[in-house]
């Protein structure tokens, strides 16, 4: 961990370590094995105030900004990446409300989300669109003082869980305007016409269910719109960019976990009568992994500092997300290799890390999307 954490961030890290290394590490494995949402552990985590660590204290948040949120994501992922996923996927709708929502929406939703009374899901991606946010097909049609939503979303993490209370949904309000015709809405669970589909099992984020959202003439009031009409694309792109910092932080935590598992197992393993770490073929890659982890930490921290300072951060965020998530896959692969044949057995914790790392390379924009963003910056 970097030496420049301020007093509040150090206190946050200390409390998180106590939860993650104590409660989470000792209780999470059965949930991972069953691909089951750990509702009581999430409630306990939320009751400690960590869900709202980044947000305005006026809405019961911790006021620690993106820097604080990155500390939370990294610390959780170093124990269980799926628990970090629950946190960061809840943070995306919270960020949209905090940055773009009216005072009324903040009073109605941000406080309960910060206190962990409910959690939220993000409804952006559609079956045909993938990373193309501008290709959204879900429609919102004005009807008096209401909007009527019709369409569906996929990969909405946290949806359908016992704590799920709200989804943010981006929809087309003005189709003739193309990408400028998107708007964002808050839809409460239980709203007529809003249904959550069945969650499917995944190779990563196994305790963080991802489901399809369905809107069948779902009526919401005009006050449920976040910000102004036609501002949806800007809102979602900003929210995704901020989310990439947390994904990068989670990848950093996962990489630390993989390196620790490789180190601990390798310290006890012998080949030809010699400790496995007597062979440079393994010690050098582990040295590279440690170096890359340090570089990723600097990149995550820099992107978070820029975001909190209100400075441009999109390029730095994409570079951090690309580097950290690709690194996580490489170090997870190395950790499995160190374990040899045992690395592919379920009872060894390392076996699940490749799937967890792969999810991080896809969510909030694939590695290819991040390279496209970076390349466009080079050409500008």
How much of the chain exceeds pLDDT 90, in percent?
A: 87
Which fold, 7-120? Answer: Butyryl-Coa Dehydrogenase, subunit A; domain 1 (1.10.540)
Q: What is the pLDDT of residues 136-176, one digit of tens each?
A: 999 999 999 999 999 999 999 999 999 999 999 999 999 99
All structural domains of the chain with their residue ranges:
7-120, 121-229, 233-379
Which residue out of 126, 297, 364, 368 is catalytically annotated?
364
The pLDDT of 17-39, averaged and rounded, is 96
Residue 131 has pLDDT above 90, yes or no: no
CATH assignment, 233-379 = 1.20.140.10
| Topology of the domain comprising 121-229 | Butyryl-CoA Dehydrogenase, subunit A; domain 2 (2.40.110)
Taking 70 as the threshold, does the pLDDT of residue 339 lie above it?
yes
Residue 129 predicted with pLDDT over 70: no
The neighbouring-strand residues paired with 271 are 274
Output phi, psi for 155, to 5 deg: 60, 35
Reading the block at residue 295, the tokens are 């570089």
364 has catalytic annotation: yes
Residue 1: pLDDT over 60: no
> Residues 81-91: what's their mean pLDDT?
98
| Residue 130: per-residue pLDDT | 64
List the one residue out of 310, 253, 266, 320 whose CA is nearest residue 84: 253
For 54-78, letters b (16+ CB in 10 Å) and e give bbbeebbbbebbbbbbbbbbbbbbb
Residue 208 pLDDT greater than 80, yes or no: yes
**pLDDT value at 361 more than 90:** yes
């Amino acid at each position: 961990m970097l030496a420049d954490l301020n007093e509040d961030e150090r206190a946050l890290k200390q409390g998180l370590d106590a939860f993650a290394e104590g409660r989470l590490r000792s209780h999470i494995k059965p949930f991972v094995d069953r691909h089951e949402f750990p509702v009581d552990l999430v409630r306990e985590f939320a009751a400690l105030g960590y869900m709202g660590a980044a947000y305005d204290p006026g809405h019961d948040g911790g006021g620690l900004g993106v820097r604080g949120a990155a500390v939370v994501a990294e610390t959780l992922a170093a124990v269980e990446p799926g628990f970090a996923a629950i946190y960061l996927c809840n943070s995306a709708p919270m960020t949209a409300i905090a940055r773009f929502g009216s005072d009324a929406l903040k009073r109605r939703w941000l406080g309960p989300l910060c206190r962990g009374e409910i959690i939220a899901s993000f409804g952006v991606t559609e079956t045909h669109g993938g990373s193309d946010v501008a290709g959204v097909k879900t429609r919102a049609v004005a009807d008096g003082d209401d909007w009527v939503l019709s369409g569906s979303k996929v990969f909405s993490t946290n949806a359908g869980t016992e704590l799920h209370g709200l989804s943010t949904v981006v929809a087309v309000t003005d189709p003739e305007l193309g990408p400028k015709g998107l708007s964002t809405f808050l839809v409460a669970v239980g709203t007529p016409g809003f249904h959550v589909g069945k969650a499917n099992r995944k190779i990563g984020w196994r305790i963080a269910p991802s489901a399809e959202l369905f809107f069948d003439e779902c009526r919401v009031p005009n006050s449920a719109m976040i910000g102004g009409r036609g501002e949806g694309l800007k809102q979602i792109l900003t929210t995704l960019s901020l989310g990439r910092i947390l994904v990068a932080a989670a990848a950093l935590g996962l990489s630390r976990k993989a390196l620790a598992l490789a180190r601990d197992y390798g310290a006890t393993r012998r080949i030809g009568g010699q400790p496995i770490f007597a062979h440079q073929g393994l010690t050098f890659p582990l040295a590279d992994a440690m170096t890359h982890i340090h570089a990723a930490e600097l990149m995550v921290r820099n992107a978070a500092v820029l975001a909190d300072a209100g400075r441009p951060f999109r390029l730095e965020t994409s570079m951090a997300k690309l580097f950290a998530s690709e690194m996580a896959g490489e170090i997870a692969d190395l950790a499995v290799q160190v374990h040899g044949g045992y690395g592919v057995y379920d009872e060894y914790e390392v076996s699940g890390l490749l799937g967890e790392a792969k999810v991080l390379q896809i969510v909030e924009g694939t590695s290819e999307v991040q390279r496209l963003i970076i390349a466009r910056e080079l050409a500008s």
